[in-house]
Structure 1
Amino acid sequence: MALDVKHTALLVMDVQNGIVSRYLQGETTLRPFQDAVEAARQAGMQVIFVRVGFSDGFPEVSPRNKMFSHLAQAGNMTVSSDTTQIHPALAPRPHEPIVTKYRVSAFAGSNLEVILRAKDIKHLVLCGIATSGVVLSTLREAADKDYELTVLKDACLDADPEVHRVLVEKVFPRQAEVTTVAEWTKSLA
């Protein structure tokens, strides 16, 4: 059965320069992401890019937030910084929204849910960096919001391969279909 692309969106999460640079291991690292984006575009599916970034002065960052307070101290993750721009290998097209979030989940402090409602999206296809960060947090919140979910396991990267394996093999299947980009692409035909 073919996927209902009219009510589905591909979320490409945290594939921004400052994060991708930590994971690049050659020219093929981003290939699964590129293949997923191209397949979604060819199918006429909504592609939405999600990035993490902060205002100048980092007013959104509490000193109690262990993860983000380090970013604020480094001072290089403002919305205008090169580190928060989507990596050029995945350049968004003009009609593809770029959502800025202020926490780990793609929903946290962003306008993502407003866009999804406006586009009548019911099914989210998730890919991103890192599996144990934005993908996990977004999947959990999206499941609680009753979205149908798919995770593209080869278009998710994590610093810890074992954590990635456990999430895609044992945790994510409880709330989402977990598949590869190639298998997912076949469902678009």
Structure 2
Amino acid sequence: MTNTAFIGLDYIVDITHPDGKIAHAARQVAERDVIGAANRALHFARSRNWLTVLAKVGFAKGYVDQPRHSPLFGRAHEIGALGLNAPGTAFHPGLDQQLADLVIVKPRISAFYGTGLDAALRARCVQRLVVAGVSSAWAVQGTVRDAHDRDYQVFVLEDGCAAASEPHHSASMELLGVIAKVIRVDDLAGLQ
């Protein structure tokens, strides 16, 4: 049996909830029931004794680690978004976050950049990742590409992902299908 981990990305208020400060994908998250899919995946992963990881983007007090030149993150400090220990970096209230074995705080798009994720996965001899999150176009693509290049077998949980628009989501799934297998929550039971 292959050691597997479920990784849920950026299911935080600022990104996924209508009250979030940069929640461009909140409508798609709600319409696609992405939080419900993430919860089903977390419960399934627990039933299989997979490592469960929730990763969230956030910046330290005073935004000292914020890349101010970044078109994506550069204005976060101006609008008070993504500050660690602020309401916006709390997990979505509907997420069963207590099912996470590990919470990773990431300072950039990929869950591998500047974090202990890879070390935690290797400590558990994980070979296969099931990745989901918001946004499909950013965190999911960034993390899946990084995981692929680190020689993990990667599955993308399509119904656990959303982007700012359905076309962005669909294009992301199509692109990721070249380096990962795109599946749905109902397909998890088929993973051996």
Same fold (TM over 0.5): yes
Whether the 8 Å CA contact 1:43–1:188 is kept in 2: the answer is no
Matches of 2:58 and 2:114 in 1, distance apart? 11
Matches of 2:142 and 2:55 in 1, distance apart? 13
Other-structure match for 2:165: 160
Deviations 1:7-32 (A, max 9, x none): 11000100011111131536944211
Other-structure match for 1:117: 122
Matches of 2:168 and 2:42 in 1, distance apart? 25
- Gaps of at least 5 residues in structure 1 are none
How many residue pairs align between the two structures? 183
Whether the 8 Å CA contact 2:4–2:129 is kept in 1: the answer is yes
Matches of 1:109 and 1:78 in 2, distance apart? 17
Residue 133 of structure 1, CA deviation: 0.7
Residue 188 of structure 1, CA deviation: 4.9
Matches of 1:173 and 1:28 in 2, distance apart? 22
Deviations 1:45-71 (A, max 9, x none): 111000001111111123211111111
TM-score (norm 2): 0.88
Whether the 8 Å CA contact 2:106–2:115 is kept in 1: the answer is yes
TM-score (norm 1): 0.89
Matches of 1:26 and 1:140 in 2, distance apart? 26
Other-structure match for 1:187: 190
Whether the 8 Å CA contact 1:54–1:102 is kept in 2: the answer is yes
Summarize the Cα distance change of 1:65–1:181 in structure 2 as closer, same or farther, 3 Å threshold.
Answer: same
Give the percent of matched residue pairs that are identical in Structure 1 and Structure 2. Answer: 26
Matches of 1:165 and 1:29 in 2, distance apart? 14
Residue 90 of structure 1, CA deviation: 1.9
Other-structure match for 1:39: 44
Residue 42 of structure 1, CA deviation: 1.3
Residue 129 of structure 1, CA deviation: 0.3
Whether the 8 Å CA contact 2:34–2:160 is kept in 1: the answer is no
Is 1:17 aligned to residue 25 of structure 2? no
Matches of 2:191 and 2:146 in 1, distance apart? 25
Matches of 1:130 and 1:27 in 2, distance apart? 13
Q: Which amino acid is the alignment partner of residue 180 of structure 2?
A: A
